[in-house]
Structure 1
Amino acid sequence: MADIQKHEIHEAYLDVRNDNSPTTWALLSYDNNAIILNSTGSDYEEFLSNFNEQERFFGYVRFSAGDEMSKRVKFVLITWIGSEVGALKKARVSTDKAFVKSICKSYAIEIQTSERSELELDHIKKALDKVGGANYGVGVRDDN
């Protein structure tokens, strides 16, 4: 089991969830066997710039979802396992994720990936639309 910076991570989680805060994401990483708060921010591209093939990360991100008539805030829990991470470290992620979930409890979708394309904004927004309930948009209808 990994050590975890519970207080710092919980504070970052609450900050991301706070509608009055500019913070839209928190990134957790490993420092040896400890899960630590790596960084927080408000620019999703900055969040994505942290991911690489040699690391494991957990991310908690706030998104605006829905259509022009009904915007809703949705949260996403992301687990990143870089493609060059060793087998033992990969295996530990599933156990460690339980600790992260004990702090980051509320999210609409969970994504575990090593594919950068699955973290692109369009991909996540489509996934959020699927779980987000009714969409009353005034645009083109998509029957798929």
Structure 2
Amino acid sequence: MTTSIDRDKIREAYEDVRSDNSETEWAVFKFEGTHIVCSAKGTQFEKFREQFADDERAFGYIRLQMGDEMSKRQKFLFLTWVGPSVGVIKRAKMSTIFILLHNFDLLFYCFSCFLSQNFAVELQLENVNEFEIDHFREQLLRAGGANYGTGLRDV
């Protein structure tokens, strides 16, 4: 069976997360059979974390504010989730879907916005314990290069 996506809803969710005029900080995309849909959007990291069950495969896109006392900026992280209880066949199909996404297959045209590097970090997670905001921030900080903040600001 061919995997398909809900292009309009996924594009809408993606743009909502990226918008400076939106409070939406994250979106989650899950499988409904062989169809990938936007299953949830929100503003709290704990709610984001709750979206990923042990027996599911999903993708997540999240905006986090980074920076120091001199410079604040929004950074984006894209993740692929394969829960520890996902069966062997579905787990294997994820790698095929992942390859298709990275090859900009026309079917996955909407995901190309993610995969054309509109995110600073890409993670592949398989354990719910990896869903820690500090872990995400650390990965974004590493990807950001030099960090000149002193922790103090003279006014």
TM-score by length of 2: 0.84
Q: Is residue 93 from structure 1 mapped to residue 105 from structure 2 by the alignment?
A: no
Superposed counterparts of 1:112-123, under 5 Å: 112-123=124-135
CA contact (8 A) 2:57 2:86 kept: yes
Q: Is residue 124 from structure 1 mapped to residue 136 from structure 2 by the alignment?
A: yes
Deviation of residue 82 (structure 1)? 0.4
Q: Which residue of 1 aligns with 2:104?
A: none
Moved over 6 A (4+): none
Structure 2 Cα separation of the partners of residues 69 and 126 of structure 1: 19
Deviation of residue 139 (structure 1)? 3.3
Letter in 2 for 1:120: E
Q: Which residue of 2 aligns with 1:133?
A: 145
Q: Which residue of 2 aligns with 1:23?
A: 24
Letter in 2 for 1:113: L
TM-score by length of 1: 0.90
In structure 2, runs of 5+ residues without a counterpart are 102-107
% identical equivalent positions:
43
Q: Which residue of 2 aligns with 1:82?
A: 83
SS in 2 for 1:73: strand
CA pair 6-83 structure 1, distance change in 2 beyond 3 A: same
Q: Which residue of 2 aligns with 1:70?
A: 71
Superposed counterparts of 1:34-73, under 5 Å: 34-73=35-74
Q: Which moved more, 1:67-76 or 1:98-107?
A: 98-107
SS in 1 for 2:142: helix
Structure 2 Cα separation of the partners of residues 50 and 136 of structure 1: 35
Deviation of residue 81 (structure 1)? 0.4
- What's the Cα RMSD here? 1.6
Q: Which residue of 2 aligns with 1:111?
A: 123
Q: Which moved more, 1:63-72 or 1:38-47?
A: 63-72
SS in 1 for 2:141: helix
